[in-house]
Amino acid sequence: MAAKRLAANKKNAARLGAYLVFADESGFLLIPHVAKTWSPQGCTPVHYHRQRRRDKVSVISGISVSPQQQRLGLYYQLYFDNIGQEEVCRFLRGWLRHLRGPVIVLLDNSSTHQEQPLQQLLHQHSRLHLEHFPSYAPELNPDEGVWSLAKRALAHSCPNDLEELVEDVIDSINNIHSSEQKLRGCMVQTESPFFWLVYCIIYALINSQ
């Protein structure tokens, strides 16, 4: 029964011809990100860093899924300030330039994703549709896997300044962008919720037409 429903929602997505984009924001601090690692017994690793400033790089990214061949893509933007509604709108306009046809973007339930500038953007672009994940459910969003991979790659690094941090962040995300296997891994870790969520979205869109 579940297999039949999964097959049905894939066909519906292809019939609608819509790209799915799973988007999210995160931040990378100049303070080193420390994670568990290996070391000789009794020798705690020590990282020396010149400064403890709270400077950071904010990033918004999204994993796209093509409607028919299920090809994956990754697009992101970096900012030195916190990401607000204007930055989210700029990010979505970037997707509209990259993708043709209907685009369904899934975001979390934060107020940044529901205020007036986004409503105006939706009014200007009828092929753009926004949906929201349930509250407190980051495990449903495949884009969380991008942050997990990127921060794992930067664990224990000690950038000297903000410029070096930006270079490290770009390198880590570009490494994910160029790897079909890593993008697939982000999708697989939320495969079951992903397919059921797609089913609900496609069902709602089809029945609203």
Domains and CATH numbers, the chain: 2-29+50-208 (3.30.420.10)
Which residues face 27 on adjacent strands? 58
Mean pLDDT for the stretch of residues 109-114: 77
Mean pLDDT for the stretch of residues 166-178: 95
- pLDDT, one tens digit per residue, over 29-88 is 887 666 565 657 666 666 665 655 668 899 999 999 888 767 899 999 999 989 999 999
Q: Is the pLDDT of residue 192 over 60?
A: no
Q: Is the pLDDT of residue 94 over 70?
A: yes
Q: Give the pLDDT band of residue 1 (cuts 50, 70, 90).
A: very low
How confident is the model at residue 25, as a pLDDT? 95
Q: Is the pLDDT of residue 4 over 50?
A: no
Q: Give the range among 123-127, 160-164, 182-186, 194-198 with minimum mean pLDDT.
A: 194-198
How deeply is 81 buried, as exposed, middle or buried, from its count of CB atoms within 10 A (0-12, 13-18, 19+)? exposed
Task: Provide the phi-psi class of 156: left if phi over 0, else alpha when psi is between -120 and 50, else beta.
Answer: left
How confident is the model at residue 50, as a pLDDT? 60
More reliable by pLDDT, 176 or 8 = 176
What six digits make up the tokens of 157? Answer: 């690094």
* Mean of per-residue pLDDT scores for the chain: 79
More reliable by pLDDT, 197 or 140 = 140
pTM: 0.77
Percentage of residues in the chain with pLDDT exceeding 70?
Answer: 72
H, E, C per residue of 64-131: EECCCCCCEEEEEEEECCCCCHHHHHHHHHHHHHHCCCCEEEEECCCHHHCCHHHHHHHHHCCCEEEE
